[in-house]
Structure 1
Amino acid sequence: MPDNPTDPTDPTDPTSAPGLRFAFGTLTVLPVRVVRWDRDAARGGMLWAPLAGVVVGGGAAALGLLFLLLGADPLLAAVASAAVPAVLTRGLHLDGLADTADGLGSGKPADDALRIMKRSDIGPFGVLTLVLVLLAQVAALAQSYGDSWTRGALAAVVSAAVARLALTLAARTGVPPARPEGLGAAVAGVVPLPRALAVAGAVIVAAGAGGALLGPDGVRRTALAVLVALAAAELLLRRCVRRFGGVTGDVFGALAETAATAALVVLALG
């Protein structure tokens, strides 16, 4: 039941307004006010997370295509596309990636590593990881746009959607928070595994349908890109849970960037 009996919506239903607001209000900078911060609303938000990714990816694809229409080469269009997710998240996912890299690379005990991750500065592991990931994303998008505008636009949308799908799966029951506070604690363990898998299946089918624009091989490659991206994110998730004792907001950001990069690389190959 909703916490507020006067609220006509039920946040346990992923189609309810609180879940949608949570997804867009926490995962994007779009002017969406989060009206519920309870775990039921967080559950709906995490189930809707891939939809927020589709919106972000659509913006990335639109800007990349606009640059191409204006005569830019694929590399410049790729830079424009890669910039959109960073802007629409205020760079929080990239910041989480850098902080997680610093925590994992510190070699410190879990509590000390978590303190390193909370600091505002970025260490050498974080800088190196950011540079390599952004280079990989831009290079993969440039390759895709160079092959065809459709392939590039599809890569931008699919990678952004699968990045948020990785968050849905990371928020499944059984994955603990590393801290008792923060966004990681708010969403850790809120999504029942069957519902997370159902959302993953829907995204794989939708991605494969989009890949049909590129022919039969596009269907297989796009579905494969989603699976590889989720596998990469899962490996990182398990490493972080073992290393930190659970997940944090920074870990969620790192998972998103890892999944997006893996998907882009797979889609650029072949």
Structure 2
Amino acid sequence: MPAESRVVDGLRLALTTFTTLPVRAGRIDRPTAGAAMALAPLVGALLGAVLAGVLLLLAALAPPLVAAGVTVGCAALLTRGLHLDGLADTVDALGSYRRGAAALEIMKKPDVGPFGVVALVVVLLLQTAALAELAGRSWPAVLAGVVAATAAGRLAVTVACRRGVPAARPEGLGALVAGTVGPVAPAVGAVAVALAAVAAVPGRPWQGPLAVAAALAVAVGLLRHVVRRLGGVTGDVLGAAVEVVTTLVYLGLVLSG
């Protein structure tokens, strides 16, 4: 497949995977999946720009907490809530203290257990509180902060799909994308997202990049733990990585702000 065609098909797959945009899917195979996962931070940045616009508009019309809550709701709506669902399923599996197939079976269940409910509540509350604080900053800081956090969440997927990380199941999204990303994409993505975060904290240009680096470090540690417990990654694990890293970057941007 020509490189240009793979990139175009990869971008389409990334858009349909990480957003609700009605984009027609092209070729879907492992090379295309690798391109899609490498481009995930770019899609996250585009989504973040939309969410920043929503936050800024609503903050001019309503209290910051209301604007932040609606923005978090829009983020879930624009991603079909898939990442939140993945977070709940992953936390339920890890909270069961089971391993391998037994833990994967818990992730397949349609209901959400107590661990998953608590994880969802905590993440949504933290994101809302952080966005409410960000809403009081200048519009360039809001744009930089939301774009960086949203892109960093998708960069966690790029990192989770790098070569050497196995899939937990022989089928599903995890099997399609696991191990498809080379070493260059995560490195380039990390630098790009860190640079995007520079303007997120006025007067502290180092705080945004530090928040991104710390969140990604947590994601790498969490990924290692998940691989030990489950045997590899799944689509739910990727969704959990998105929400965990996005939340941690938001927190890093507002701590001592």
Q: TM-score of the superposition, structure 2-length normalised?
A: 0.94
Matches of 1:177 and 1:254 in 2, distance apart?
15
Alignment of 1:84-95 (within 5 A): 84-95=74-85
2:193 is aligned to: 203
Q: Report how far residue 78 of structure 1 moved.
A: 0.8
1:104 is aligned to: 94
User: Does the 8 Å contact 1:169/1:196 carry over to 2?
Assistant: yes
Alignment of 1:160-239 (within 5 A): 160-208=150-198, 210-211=199-200, 214-215=202-203, 217=204, 219-239=205-225
Please, which moves more after superposition, 165-174 or 227-236? 227-236
User: Does the 8 Å contact 1:58/1:156 carry over to 2?
Assistant: yes
Q: Report how far residue 90 of structure 1 moved.
A: 0.3
Matches of 1:125 and 1:43 in 2, distance apart?
32
Going from structure 1 to structure 2, the CA distance change for 1:8 and 1:116 (only over 3 Å counts) comes to closer
User: Does the 8 Å contact 1:94/1:257 carry over to 2?
Assistant: yes
SS in 1 for 2:190: helix
SS in 2 for 1:146: coil
The answer to which structure, 1 or 2, has the higher relative contact order (CA under 8 A, 6+ apart) is: 2
1:46 is aligned to: 37
Paired amino acid for 2:84: L
User: Does the 8 Å contact 2:45/2:151 carry over to 1?
Assistant: yes
2:145 is aligned to: 155
User: Does the 8 Å contact 2:145/2:197 carry over to 1?
Assistant: no
User: Does the 8 Å contact 2:9/2:26 carry over to 1?
Assistant: yes
The root-mean-square deviation of aligned C-alpha atoms, in Å, is 1.6
2:55 is aligned to: 64
2:10 is aligned to: 19
Q: Which runs of 5+ in 2 are unaligned?
A: none
1:127-146 per-position Cα deviation (integer Å, ceiling 9, x unaligned): 01100111111111112223
Paired amino acid for 2:180: V
Match of 1:250 among 236, 246, 249: 236
Matches of 2:149 and 2:185 in 1, distance apart?
21
Q: Report how far residue 195 of structure 1 moved.
A: 3.0
User: Does the 8 Å contact 1:96/1:252 carry over to 2?
Assistant: yes
User: Does the 8 Å contact 2:33/2:176 carry over to 1?
Assistant: yes
Q: Report how far residue 223 of structure 1 moved.
A: 0.6
Going from structure 1 to structure 2, the CA distance change for 1:155 and 1:32 (only over 3 Å counts) comes to same
Matches of 1:97 and 1:108 in 2, distance apart?
17
Q: Report how far residue 202 of structure 1 moved.
A: 2.4
- What percent of counterpart residues are identical? 49
Matches of 1:191 and 1:172 in 2, distance apart?
4
1:240 is aligned to: 226
Q: TM-score of the superposition, structure 1-length normalised?
A: 0.90
Q: Report how far residue 147 of structure 1 moved.
A: 4.5
1:183-209 per-position Cα deviation (integer Å, ceiling 9, x unaligned): 11111000012332222222222332x
Report the count of equivalent residues: 256
User: Does the 8 Å contact 2:158/2:185 carry over to 1?
Assistant: no
Q: Which runs of 5+ in 1 are unaligned?
A: none
User: Does the 8 Å contact 1:175/1:188 carry over to 2?
Assistant: yes
Matches of 1:174 and 1:129 in 2, distance apart?
28
Q: Report how far residue 255 of structure 1 moved.
A: 0.3
Paired amino acid for 1:77: A
Q: Report how far residue 9 of structure 1 moved.
A: 4.0
Task: Please say if 1:264 is aligned against 2:256.
Answer: no
SS in 2 for 1:180: coil
